[in-house]
Amino acid sequence: MTTHVLPVPETLDDRGFETLVASWAGVEGGRMLFDARHVRWVSPYGILGLLATGAASAERSGERPLLQPPESKEVVSYLARIGFYDQARRVFDFQERVRRRPAGESDALLEITPIQSHQDVHDVVDRVRDRAAAILGKRLGYPPPAVLHFSVILSEVCQNIVEHADADGWVSAQTYNWKQRLGRQVVVIAVTDVGMGFRGSLAREHAQRYGDRWSDETALEAAFLHGVSRYRDPGRGQGLQGIRKQVSRWNGLFTIRSGTAQIAEVPDWIEKEPIAGGLPDFPGAQIQVVLPQLIPPGGSGKGGRGDG
């Protein structure tokens, strides 16, 4: 069987993930080798994207892909702290540079965690409640009621995997200093799966009335903007709309990528199209929520990872 080498971008964030998916989509057949040796920086969304691309490769070829882990000691250490290797060994074949997670909690709000059931979602929310209160209040300047809203957001984006993907997924949350794009502290929630995606999930109930217009874009618009759900129960489908409104109040970024399209609630601090189509096709759904610090950064602005 042919082995195809897939270079992983040095900066593995949302833009790096798109580069990775474009390369992945251009390969047909054979085993994949993900060359991550030159990775120098990762975001929660990017690292979950790497896991998802590996899982999609295994599904496509019937064989687990190979992984060459990063050579940067800083990146290797960070990946160990957030539990990447614990999850990666279920997806890739590779020689681990770090065999176990260091003792004690990491500086992540939530280490990479698999989501397979409603109980997993409850466990995730319970795990982050105390840390979320400290981080949102002390680092980001959010009022106490924001912790409840944050928990609801985290729960809803995880429930999306359980109820719509029909496949396993992962969630992670991290606080760091987003120097280049914003210049202050943020908290990032990333959720990804390689399931049926929004178009597949909503197709049975809604594709017919859209006719020829039915696509990844229209499916995302229906769910994101109009609260359309695959379920007929009253009140279903309101979760994503609620997240969008709350994130907008906090001047945050909320994006969902599925299939060949992406839709976003875009704040004033970043230039991004609210909807994009024609992207390289990729299974499942990839969600990112970025909530910025509500108060100006003081002093050195220490307390999070820098992105250069």
- Dihedral sign computed on CA atoms, order 249, 255, 256, 260: positive
Burial of 102 (C-beta count, 10 Å sphere; 0-12/13-18/19+): exposed
Query: Is there a common fold for 1-98 and 108-308?
Result: no
The C-alpha atoms of residue 253 and residue 244 are separated, in whole angstroms, by 9
**Position 104 pLDDT exceeds 70:** no
What CATH number matches the domain at 108-308, 3.30.565.10, 3.40.50.2300, 2.160.10.10, 3.30.70.2740? 3.30.565.10
The pLDDT of residue 1 is 67
Hey, what are 93's tokens?
């074949």
**Position 212 pLDDT exceeds 90:** no
- The per-residue pLDDT for range 222-271, each reduced to its tens digit, is 888 887 765 454 444 458 888 999 999 999 999 999 999 999 999 999 99
1-98 maps to which CATH number? Answer: 3.30.750.24
The residue-averaged pLDDT of 90-97 equals 86
The answer to whether the beta carbons of residues 16 and 44 sit under 8 Å apart is no
The C-alpha atoms of residue 81 and residue 112 are separated, in whole angstroms, by 10
**Position 305 pLDDT exceeds 50:** no
The pLDDT of residue 184 is 87
| Cβ neighbours for 221, distance < 8 A, ≥ 6 positions apart | 263, 275
The C-alpha atoms of residue 222 and residue 216 are separated, in whole angstroms, by 10
The pLDDT of residue 297 is 46
The answer to whether the beta carbons of residues 23 and 3 sit under 8 Å apart is no
Q: How confident is the model at residue 129 (pLDDT cuts 50, 70, 90)?
A: confident
The answer to whether the beta carbons of residues 216 and 278 sit under 8 Å apart is no
Per domain, the residue ranges of the chain are 1-98, 108-308
Tokens 């992983």, located at residue: 8
- The per-residue pLDDT for range 74-92, each reduced to its tens digit, is 999 999 999 999 999 999 9
Instruction: For residue 185, list its beta bridge partners.
Output: 177
The C-alpha atoms of residue 301 and residue 292 are separated, in whole angstroms, by 13
Tokens 């609630």, located at residue: 265
pTM beyond 0.85:
yes
